[in-house]
Chains A and B, each alone.
Chain A
């Protein structure tokens, strides 16, 4: 084997290396958090500035186990005297930071998130409209008497009767005082 063959092979190898370097992204594969699972969707509805930490953690556990996506949904209420299409900046000022906090918290645990906003005359109406538009495999809610945190008992009963999805209702527990709130947002949101 003469020198020219060795040089040619070395050059070809170098060119291949350069081409591969250009073609592949700098850090190899895309991060796992960007790969959305095509399968199951877990809805995590809320109405106020806080969400039960237990329901959030249940959603994360299930999402990890089922390779599912968490879909936190802020349900905004439109007063009866306003058109249903009304923009709701004041309610959004409460709901958006919590959506951000949930998304940050879930993605940092490796669970993908796809947020939603529902709008209706009541929380139940907003949820009903959301369910008409999209299919969800599971819905996770906590039974909480505090209307700032979740849905009413009547709403839960309605869900059990009408919603074609698995519904996971977390019974009240002492640790329900632990909540994820809008203060959990990292950085200047």
Chain B
């Protein structure tokens, strides 16, 4: 049985790039012309040329829905006219800058919400976005580039797009375009070169963009393969199966730091999100050293960009299962526990209990490597 696809909804294609100037809008306009040539009704809903002559000239020949003027705090701001697009009802609409925030007073606060409304009306949309606008990458890119992007879009939006196209350009080629005045006007070139447009920034952003699109493609391929199979519900879950999410079970004690570091490194390699979970017994009072350890764990989570979750329950397994289901966890990491005593030896160990109750979730026990025999990988304690 195939997954039902809403035939009345428009299709969304997103052109994504590492930075301004790689040619996303240009490519969107080229595709608009190609669609027009095969006889489709194509309009430009919103175009940002940023003063680029070649972009503006490429827009010629495509009908443009004029922007509307919105008064806000004694000034007049131009915004995309979504009601006019819906009333014009083209087959395909080109809407630049997916992550834009609208001025207060229009139907939606964000442009991606406008685009959802256009898609709901059965109109196909081509749009553009830079990778730093993706919510989950915001912290990472902020630290890489030193610039925090305020306008973000939920990652799920990109996941729902029918097609995502990476517009790739080498950092060297982009800098050449910038110096040639093809990205910004002459007066802004020096500032751009000194701030955002540094070769190391661009290289890192390019890597992030390539990986992001590779993950999107992987998720979609899995979904497509499952369409038509007998397990319809699996298809809906497929994107979650590809997007990894780690959950580390911690306790307020020093050894938890090691577990968190190891979990974070694994999350980095997988390009996955990381949650930390501490299940506190009902009414449990913390000692002074536990309070210090808990504060240190919270600080570590914040610096690493992980999310610290604290739950109160007397059933550890049930609490972990509930959080893992809620957060879409694919890996659970736990530290080695102390040898059980007394009747506790008769209980099924926590890793087995988790594996029984969370089929499909990997459970990993993080070892203490300080007592590992010194081998080839562990000999370089000092660099001379």
B254 contacts A86, C-beta separation under 8 Å: no
Contact A24 B268 (CB under 8 A): no
Q: A184 and B339 in contact (CB under 8 A), knowing A107-B370, A117-B299? A: no
User: Contacts A22-B342, A36-B289, A115-B254 given: A82-B381 contact, CB under 8 Å?
Assistant: no
* Minimum distance in angstroms from B341 CB to a CB of chain A: 6
| Contact status A119-B139, CB under 8 Å | no
Q: Is B268 in contact with A186, judged by CB distance below 8 angstroms?
A: no
A81: contacting residue among B146, B299, B375, CB under 8 A: B146
**CB closest chain-A residue, reference B287:** A38
Q: Pick the contact of A178 from B342, B345, B382 — CB < 8 Å? A: B382
B264 in the interface (beta carbon within 8 A): yes
Contact A108 B292, beta carbon cutoff 8 Å: no
A96 to chain B, nearest CB (A): 5
Please state if B369 and A134 are interface contacts (CB–CB under 8 Å): no
Contact (Cβ within 8 A) B143 A22: no
User: Is A186 touching B144 in the complex (CB atoms < 8 A)?
Assistant: no
Give A49 Cβ to nearest chain B Cβ, in Å. 10
The one of B261, B295, B339, B382 that contacts A99, using a Cβ cutoff of 8 Å: B261
Whether a CB of chain A sits under 8 angstroms from the CB of B302 is: yes
Known A87-B302, A104-B369; judge A96-B339 contact (CB<8 A).
no
Given A85-B302, A112-B254, A134-B292 contact (CB < 8 Å): yes
Report how far A187 CA is from B305 CA in the complex, Å.
Answer: 24
* A26 x B339 contact (CB < 8 A): yes
- From known contacts A87-B139, A133-B295, infer whether A105 and B343 are also in contact, taking CB-CB under 8 Å: no
- Give B354-384 as 1s and 0s: 1 = Cβ < 8 Å from A's Cβ atoms: 0000000000000111111011011011111
Q: Does A183 contact B (CB under 8 A)?
A: yes
How many angstroms between the C-alpha atoms of A65 and B188 in the bound complex?
62
B230 in contact (CB, < 8 A): no
Asked if B342 and A119 make an inter-chain contact with CB atoms under 8 angstroms apart, the answer reads: no
**In the complex, what residues of B have CB within 8 A of residue A83's CB?**
148
Question: Which of A101, A115, A116 touches B381 (beta carbons < 8 Å)?
Answer: A101
Contacts of A179 in B (CB 8 A): 382-383
B272 at the interface (CB under 8 A from A): no
Kindly provide the distance from the CB of A84 to the nearest chain B CB, expressed in whole angstroms: 10
Q: How far is the CA of A15 from the CA of B140 in the complex (A)?
A: 60
Interface size on A, residues (CB 8 A): 61
Measured between beta carbons, the chain A residues less than 8 angstroms from B380 are 181, 183-184
A185 proximity list for chain B (CB < 8 A): 369, 378
A105 smallest CB distance to B (angstroms): 6
Q: Would B377 and A117 count as touching, CB distance under 8 A?
A: no
Taking CB atoms, residues of chain B closer than 8 Å to A25 are 338-341
Q: Among A26, A88, A116, A181, which residue has its beta carbon within 8 angstroms of that of B383?
A: A181
A186 contacts B146, CB within 8 Å?
no
Is the beta-carbon distance between A87 and B305 smaller than 8 angstroms? yes
Set of chain A residues within 8 Å of B374, measured between Cβ atoms: 186
Distance of B368 from chain A, by nearest CB (Å): 7
Closest beta carbon of chain A to B293's beta carbon, Å: 7
Q: What's the Cα separation between A27 and B340 when bound, in Å?
A: 11
Chain A residues lying within 8 Å of B264, measured Cβ to Cβ, are 92, 96
Q: A130 — nearest CB in chain B belongs to which residue?
A: B299
A142-189 interface (Cβ within 8 A of B): 177-181, 183-189
CA–CA, A117 and B296, complex, Å: 7
Residue in B closest to A109 when the chains form the complex, CB atoms: B370
Report the Cα distance A180→B295, complex, angstroms: 27
Task: Identify which of residues 66-115 in chain A touch chain B, using a CB-to-CB cut-off of 8 Å.
Answer: 69, 76, 79, 81-83, 85-93, 96-97, 99-101, 103-108, 112-115
Complex CA–CA separation, A177 to B382 (angstroms)? 10
For A108, give the chain B residue with the smallest CB separation: B370
Known: A107-B370, A183-B380. A36 touches B341 (CB 8 A): no
Q: With A34-B255, A90-B140, A189-B265 given, can you name 15 additional A-B contacts, CB distance below 8 Å?
A: A22-B342, A22-B345, A81-B148, A87-B304, A88-B305, A90-B144, A96-B304, A112-B254, A118-B299, A119-B299, A178-B382, A184-B380, A187-B372, A187-B377, A187-B378
Q: Which of A's residues lie within 8 Å of B, judged by CB?
A: 22-27, 30, 33-34, 36, 38, 50, 53, 69, 76, 79, 81-83, 85-93, 96-97, 99-101, 103-108, 112-119, 133-134, 177-181, 183-189
Q: Can you report 29 A-B residue pairs in the complex whose CB atoms are below 8 A from each other? A: A22-B341, A26-B339, A36-B254, A50-B383, A76-B303, A79-B146, A82-B148, A87-B303, A89-B139, A90-B144, A93-B268, A97-B265, A100-B261, A101-B381, A104-B369, A112-B254, A114-B257, A115-B258, A116-B296, A118-B299, A133-B295, A134-B292, A178-B384, A184-B382, A184-B383, A185-B369, A186-B370, A186-B374, A189-B262
4 cross-chain pairs, A with B, having the tightest CB-CB distances, nearest first: A87-B305, A186-B378, A114-B254, A107-B370
